[in-house]
Amino acid sequence: MKVVKTQIGGKDIMLHFNGAAMFELNDEFGQIGKLVEKIDKQNAEGFMATCKAVAILARQAELTRRYFGYKPEEMLTEEAVSILLNPTEIMNVKAAVMRSIMLGFGREIESEGEEVDVFMMELNQKKRNDKAGELLPDGDCMRNRNKRVPDDDTGHCV
């Protein structure tokens, strides 16, 4: 699952554009192109379109997480987005919605720092944790990644 991470009210929010999100956004806005036009507006209509799109994309990210067995978290609603979204965050959130849609359609995203593969991130963390206790050769002594480990009962490396 590839998601785009953004912040709303100082909290990290994940956005996921999948098939369900595409059809829900199409039902709501007519088509994705019309959504883009509405989000681009610098007025209340554009703000509310952004809030609705964020709520849909965030809900799909959460539903996908739950499907893969992760602990359920609270669903972000359109009302919550409109309350929590700070004026300084609006442009970044609009851009995150667009990046999420582009990623969902498989388009290249120039700024790879915004694209997050949640499952790969967790797998890499697990691998790092597993290696933390791994013994590695260190001359005549074995060492843990964080400290030297004696080879015999005397506490000396042999």
Residues of the chain above pLDDT 90, percent:
58
pLDDT value of residue 33: 87
pTM, rounded to two decimals: 0.68
Confidence of residue 10 (pLDDT cuts 50, 70, 90): confident
pLDDT value of residue 105: 87
pLDDT value of residue 2: 84
Domain extent listing, the chain: 2-110
Average pLDDT of the segment spanning 36-41:
91
Mean pLDDT of the chain: 80
- Using one digit for the tens of pLDDT, what is the confidence trace for 89-117? 999 999 999 999 999 888 655 554 455 56
**Alpha helix (H) ranges present in 105-149?**
118-131
How far apart CA 112 and CA 4 sit, in angstroms, is 10
pLDDT value of residue 145: 47
pLDDT surpassing 50 at residue 142? no
Confidence of residue 153 (pLDDT cuts 50, 70, 90): low
pLDDT value of residue 31: 87
How far apart CA 48 and CA 54 sit, in angstroms, is 10
pLDDT surpassing 80 at residue 118? no
H/E run at residue 39: helix 32-40
pLDDT value of residue 140: 47
Q: How many residues in total does the chain contain? A: 158
Structure tokens given for 77:
């609603």
Whether 94 and 4 have beta carbons less than 8 Å apart is answered as no
The bridge status of strand 141-144 relative to strand 148-149 is antiparallel
